[in-house]
Amino acid sequence: MTLLEDVSLQEFNTLSIPARAAYFAEVVSAADIERILANPALATLPRLVLGGGSNIVLRGDFPGVVLHIALRGIEVEENGTQRLLKVAAGENWDALVRHCLAQGWYGIENLISIPGSAGAAPIQNIGAYGVELADVLVAVSGWDLNTQQWRRLSAEQCQLGYRTSVFKAAMQDRFIITEIELRLSTEAQPNVSYAALNEVLSDSESVTPESVAEAVAAVRASRLPDYRTEPNAGSFFKNPIVSAGRASVLKQQFPQLVTWPMADGRVKLAAAWLVEQCGWKGRRQGEVGIHPRQAIVLVNYGRAKGAEVLALAEAIQHSVAETFGVSLEIEPRLY
């Protein structure tokens, strides 16, 4: 473990916000975590557990210690057609998806091209194109900062929901994930429930996990900007969820409104549609702007700081609230 001081975080967040960390530790073994936490010089400082930095907004310099999770390793257990994977938190998520696909282990192919680490996947229950982590997650292991013990939490204990989990609620800032366990299968069960996928893969007879992954990667590349050339944090807002009654009133007023029914009877609204209707798509405010192809992706076109990004987000929230009476919640975690 190396402990560095006064480190630039610009390359460690996909919005490319130029902020610095007072301390920065590269965590390469579970023992590193205990060592850092036992260091009296760091004990009272704030902590930021960092994976790929693709879902955070740095409001300013971070005055505490960043624990950059660089744990590596994948173990596989065979059980009939099931493959039980133990994946270290620092493994790259997209590389994991591609590795599994190449091995013929299916279930996460729709989650291809999502940036970030495996350890962060349960935090907001990553999801895309009809699949979410909850569909394959068995358990999560890590260090409980409250009880100061290593623990294994079942998927149920993780309380996964749409873009949320116990790690964004009761256990926020309390658990450092070191490993996730996934249940995959050697039996292909392609999921083409998402409308945009259906359009690309209209010939359903030839649909395979490989063709689904290829289609998802192509749709993503056509819709979402690459953070390496246009720094962003993916969707900046969650899709708002409203009651069925509220949705039907809105639908009468705005017949073009894009909605999805939820299993619990409530209705999810397309935040991108709401933002686009308010005229924000493609607009710029100083060095930040809204991507011309995706109305809920905010892009840092220069060296904008967190405050500038958040000022734009606030202006968008304000106009969506005024026009539709709907409040947009920011998806990335603010530090």
Which residues are marked as active site?
163, 235, 331
Positive or negative, the CA dihedral 189, 195, 200, 205 is positive
129 binds ligand EPU (CB under 6 A): yes
Q: How many residues contact ligand EPU, by CB under 6 A?
A: 18
Distance separating alpha carbons of residues 194 and 278, to the nearest angstrom: 25
57 binds ligand FAD (CB under 6 A): no
188 binds ligand EPU (CB under 6 A): no
* Residue 217 or 270 with smaller CB distance to ligand EPU: 270
Distance separating alpha carbons of residues 267 and 77, to the nearest angstrom: 39
Q: Binding string to ligand FAD for residues 267 to 306, with x set by CB under 6 A, is what?
A: ----------------------------------------
Site for ligand EPU in 222-241 (CB under 6 A): 223, 234-235, 238-239
Structural tokens at position 25: 């530790």
54 binds ligand FAD (CB under 6 A): yes
Closest Cα partner for 118 from 128, 126, 110? 126
Select from ligand EPU, ligand FAD, none the partner in contact with residue 88, using the beta carbon and a kind-dependent cut-off of 5 to 8 Å.
Answer: none
Stretch that binds ligand FAD, among 122-130, 202-210, 268-276, 308-316 (CB under 6 A): 122-130
Select from ligand EPU, ligand FAD, none the partner in contact with residue 232, using the beta carbon and a kind-dependent cut-off of 5 to 8 Å.
Answer: ligand FAD
Closest Cα partner for 197 from 167, 175, 180, 217? 217
| Backbone angles phi and psi of 82, in degrees to 5 | -85, 145
Structural tokens at position 242: 């409203």
Strand ranges inside 73-204, DSSP E: 74-79, 82-88, 127-128, 131-132, 137-144, 149-154, 175-185
Beta carbon of residue 150, minimum distance to ligand EPU (angstroms, whole number): 30
Distance separating alpha carbons of residues 273 and 237, to the nearest angstrom: 12
Stretch that binds ligand FAD, among 110-118, 154-162, 249-257, 273-281 (CB under 6 A): 110-118
* Residue 143 or 280 with smaller CB distance to ligand EPU: 280
Structural tokens at position 11: 């390359």
Footprint of ligand EPU (CB under 6 A): 128-129, 196, 223, 234-235, 238-239, 258, 270, 272-273, 276, 281, 294-296, 331
